[in-house]
A and B are shown apart, each in its own frame.
Chain A
Amino acid sequence: MERLESAVEQISGFIYPNEIELHWGLLVVLYPYITGLVAGAFILASLEKVFKVKELEPTYRLALLTALAFLLVAPLPLLAHLGHPERSFEIFLTPHFKSAMAMFGFVYAWYLMLVLLLEIWFDYRADLVKWGRKAGRFKKFLYWVITLGSRDLSPEAVEFDKKAVHTITLIGIPSAFLLHGYVGFIFGSVKANPWWSSVLMPIVFLFSAIVSGISLVLLIYYVTTLFRRKQPEMACLDKLASFLLYALIVDFSLEILDFIHRLYESEESIGILSELIVSKLYLSLTIVQILIGTIAPLLILAYSRFSRLPTELKRVAYFIGALLVQVGIFGTRWNVVIGGQLFSKSLRGLTVYKLELGGIEGLFTCIGLLILPFVILYILIKVLPPWEEASLALSEDAAVSTASAD
């Protein structure tokens, strides 16, 4: 009741009674943010496999594992938000096509089960068999389970794995587009909400997903090499920064296009939307999303990529740029989800969002849910090391042992 009272004090204009409190809070902001990271990381991984961008080879497996770690966490914000998580499996048991939300079951099962897991499985299979041979009892058993007991390392089998990875990646690219385009579709198809209802919404979501995925992999690659006391490959970082810059330009252009389109079309909602932008969303949209999260990293990335900065400085600049991009993309999700609920359907008033610290919808839950994928990624990296040297060392060992046997 106290929360309601303090919210009522900040309401402006006329709003309907059921619009005082926002129904979708921080947890729903988190959902498109995390799925965006998944789709973006996967699309980055596919660049190396399908489009043969050789510079990105060091991040291929890392990007796949990142996508998996975040995909495992992706449904949790929704489950926490909806309550009754024990019922969530019902979406898989009684699927249907009549609701965009219910499509989550299909999209998630297809993307997790068939695309991502299969690609990782085929890509790691040969290495897992080799690692299993040298590992201790527990790890040997673990690798045996993961490989489903497959031990065939014949050239034909390995060749088949490579082809399978290539084919799955080809299927995976439209799947990744589908995963995040679908999240954008959910918002874009809410006809009654002029802030969301736009055919550009899935496309904007998709490109912001690509931007966030690339920047996340750049950050993780940079930090993990530091912790492993290695030098990050500059060619790889340069390429990542280039792709991040290009994707950011496309993303920003699309958002500006969407904005201009709304202004030019100027429907009856334009009044309240302008008021929303200059009042309640001023900080999160203009300052955080556009200035700090888009224009600042655009300038930093463009300058550091195409100038003759010292390598060390360049790396730090890339890191800061990617970090700001994350802030900006989180801002994008915030402004879409929260912004779309701040104005009344009467188009005559604005309400307010009160962020809680504790509780299931609170800030601490969200921070926990944001840390969780990194914990999963840490475990995944321990089981499936994505580093080149882990794979190379074994192939050298194998070469040596084959030579000595000869």
Chain B
Amino acid sequence: MKIWRIPDQVIRLAVVLVAAVAVLVVVRGRFVPASFGETGHYRADAVDVVAAQPIRYAGSQICVECHDGEGEAKSGSFHRTVSCEVCHGPAAAHAEDFESQTPLIPRERGAECLSCHEYLSPRPTGFPQIIERLHNPLQPCIGCHDPHDPTPPEVPESCSACHAQIARTKAVSHHLTLECETCHDAQAEHREEPRSFLPRKPTAREFCGSCHSESADSPADIPRVDLRDHGERYLCWQCHYPHHPES
């Protein structure tokens, strides 16, 4: 089979090539969506498909219309750029029907806070980070921090100016909310001549017992001991470090 002077093998190859191109054209017609290329190198219908997806997030603006107190607290706080739904989850359904659809209200210690505040070396210097297993374990984050205005609790500056290390230690312990003066009776002169006028430390077991004894009138989640048979010959702070009692 020779057409003019074209060799036989070339004709056969050409037939195969033409067949392959024909298959490609058919396959292309079958598989490439009709709207492909109308508005760029993609399927133009994809825009409509995305637009038709159900809306799950409401956006912060709609939240503050009802929750204006929280919105105001948040607007001047460190969390002002964090959208409500970052912690409370998608709330479009709640915005539509606030009576039967309740958004997530994270009250437990968990991922909502830690996804930003768990220690990671690449996070910028100065960004508040904690090591979860060391930072006041078992306590929910909202027990100490108001998530809408999460300004870190501070010990009085008059003490922390000199006792910075103790202040930092206490800041991550269960005792963070206690003022230094709760346990230490410091005379005014201590500030001028700290070594001559030392503050007093608790001298009686009953002082700690006012929160930790079995009969104490304090919140139920505070650990209790029976002062009669618990290390009766020692003061509490001789065994427990009061600035970080869980250590």
Contacts and interface: CB of A to CB of B under 8 A. Distances in A.
Interface stretch (B120-128, B142-150, B210-218): B120-128
Interface in A140-199: 147-150, 152, 156-157, 160-161
Contacts of B37: 94
Interface in B21-66: 24, 27-28, 31-32, 36-37, 41
Given A93-B28, A98-B41, A157-B7, A148 B122 contact: no
Interface residues of B, number: 20
B9 A160 contact: yes
A11 B122 contact: yes
> Interface size class for chain A?
20 to 34
Contact of B32 (A93, A148, A157): A93
25 contacts: A8-B120, A8-B121, A11-B121, A11-B122, A14-B121, A17-B120, A17-B122, A93-B27, A93-B28, A93-B31, A94-B36, A94-B41, A98-B41, A147-B9, A148-B12, A148-B13, A148-B15, A149-B12, A152-B8, A152-B9, A157-B8, A157-B9, A160-B7, A160-B9, A161-B9
Contacts of B28: 93
Interface of A: 8, 11, 14-17, 19-20, 89-90, 92-94, 96, 98, 118, 121-122, 125, 147-150, 152, 156-157, 160-161, 349
B16 interface: yes
A156 to B, nearest CB: 7
B111 to A, nearest CB: 11
Contacts of A94: 32, 36-37, 41
A16 B122 contact: yes
A1 to B, nearest CB: 11
Nearest to B16: A148
B36 to A, nearest CB: 6
Given A19-B122, A94-B36, A157-B7, 20 more contacts: A8-B121, A11-B122, A14-B121, A17-B120, A17-B123, A20-B122, A90-B31, A93-B27, A93-B31, A98-B41, A121-B13, A122-B9, A125-B9, A148-B9, A150-B12, A152-B7, A152-B8, A152-B9, A160-B7, A160-B10
Contacts of B9: 122, 125, 147-148, 150, 152, 157, 160-161
A16 B172 CA distance: 27
Q: Which of B24, B32, B121 counts the most A-chain CB atoms under 10 A from its CB?
A: B121
Nearest to B33: A94
